Amino acid sequence: MKLRVLFATIIAAALGASAHAQTDSDAWPNPEPQKLPAGALKSTVLYGQKLFDETYAVIGPQVADPSMRYSGNNLSCESCHLQNGTQRFAIPMIGVYGLFPQYIARENEVRTLEERIEGCMERSMNGRVIPAGGKEMKALVAYIQFLSTGVPVGKPVQGRGSPNLPLLARAADPAHGAEVYRTNCAACHQADGQGKRNGAPGDTKGYQYPPLWGPDSFNDGAGMHRLITSASFIHANMPFGTHYNAPVLSAEDAWDVAAYINSQPRPHRDHLDQDYPDRARKPVDAPFPPFADNFPLQQHVLGPFRPIIDAQAATH
């Protein structure tokens, strides 16, 4: 167990989260790259795992070789895709390989797995694209393919993304979210939301607890900046150590704390108005204009979302 995971587990237990996964009715794959036979495939998969787990150390903004600085922040892919992308309902990579190419509304086109990874590079990692066909992209794809071993092509696993969280009938309340944050999150992510580094600023050791906002966080075009995505992830997975079957936060607290986090400053991505060019397919919680409807921007940011969804359904 990595040290940061050990610390997190101790704090999480104090906050009431069970660190031990409960048994699920249907099996969840447990691929182990270490068990691959020695050779080029194994070393490529392991490099992909390292890129995923210690992104900041290989392609982070502070690595020695400037040409390798692809990521704009010191997060790792694992900051959001928990347990190296293997945790059920923590946006896992299990089975994802066989789901691409896939239609993606953000660009309104069919995109490859490589292009989907670039989406997280440019937004979640606030960085730039990794060259297609280069060593790093090959390794990430090989790792995700390995994690998808045995899952039928085209079949989404039960455990993809995060579990659906029932929508609130009211707008989310960032002021109440601030209280939820102080009680349940600040112990790890710190009162100022800037997280806790493994080393000193300027090194390549990443975070014990990642920042949730501020200059070293994901940008405002990232999926985690959408309230439904963020609240669903948080409800199922935070405080760290939470099992999706036994959430620690109430649904209302998860919505409010997500709204609080997403009301804080973070890096800005230009040209967000060009996302979702087919406005009819723009998610109701995309927190930036323009929209096909006349609901106020604030309602797309904080909800309630049901009236928007119902209005959309009525026009189709």
**Residue 238 has which token pair?**
């935070």
CA angle 54, 186, 84 (to 5 degrees): 25
**Residue 263 has which token pair?**
């009301």
Of 58 and 308, which has the nearer Cβ to ligand HEC? 58
Distance between alpha carbon 63 and the CA centroid of its chain, in Å? Answer: 23
CB of 238 to ligand HEC, least distance (A): 4
Q: Where do the H-state alpha helices sit in the chain?
A: 3-15, 40-53, 55-59, 82-85, 113-122, 135-147, 174-184, 186-189, 227-237, 251-262, 297-302, 306-314
If binding is defined by CB under 6 A, does position 188 make contact with ligand HEC? yes
Of 140 and 168, which has the nearer Cβ to ligand HEC? 140
**Residue 87 has which token pair?**
């945790």
CB of 156 to ligand HEC, least distance (A): 8
**Residue 181 has which token pair?**
């944050």
The count of C-alpha atoms lying within 13 angstroms of the C-alpha of 197, restricted to the half-sphere facing its C-beta, is 13
* Residue in 249, 259, 301, 308 binding ligand HEC, rule: CB under 6 A: 249
> Using CA atoms in the order 184, 189, 191, 196, what is the torsion angle rounded to 10 degrees?
150
CB of 303 to ligand HEC, least distance (A): 16
Residue 309 CA to residue 312 CA, distance in Å, equals 5
If binding is defined by CB under 6 A, does position 90 make contact with ligand HEC? no
* Residue in 137, 238, 286, 308 binding ligand HEC, rule: CB under 6 A: 238
* Residue in 49, 126, 148, 184 binding ligand HEC, rule: CB under 6 A: 184
If binding is defined by CB under 6 A, does position 106 make contact with ligand HEC? no
If binding is defined by CB under 6 A, does position 240 make contact with ligand HEC? yes
* Residue in 141, 147, 257, 301 binding ligand HEC, rule: CB under 6 A: 257
If binding is defined by CB under 6 A, does position 124 make contact with ligand HEC? yes
Q: Are 124 and 112 in contact (CB under 8 A)?
A: no
Residue 117 CA to residue 129 CA, distance in Å, equals 9
CB of 26 to ligand HEC, least distance (A): 18
CB proximity list for 293: less than 8 A, separation 6 or greater:
308, 311, 312
Residue 225 CA to residue 70 CA, distance in Å, equals 21
The footprint of ligand HEC on residues 30-89 (CB under 6 A) is 55, 75-82
CA angle 263, 232, 151 (to 5 degrees): 135
Q: Which stretch binds ligand HEC (CB under 6 A): 23-31, 166-174, 203-211, 288-296?
A: 203-211
Q: Which stretch binds ligand HEC (CB under 6 A): 21-29, 38-46, 186-194, 286-294?
A: 186-194
CB of 53 to ligand HEC, least distance (A): 8
Residues that bind ligand HEC (CB under 6 A): 4, 8, 11-12, 15, 55, 75-82, 91, 96, 99, 116-117, 120-121, 124-125, 140, 160-161, 184-185, 187-189, 209-212, 218, 222-224, 229, 234, 238-240, 249, 257, 261
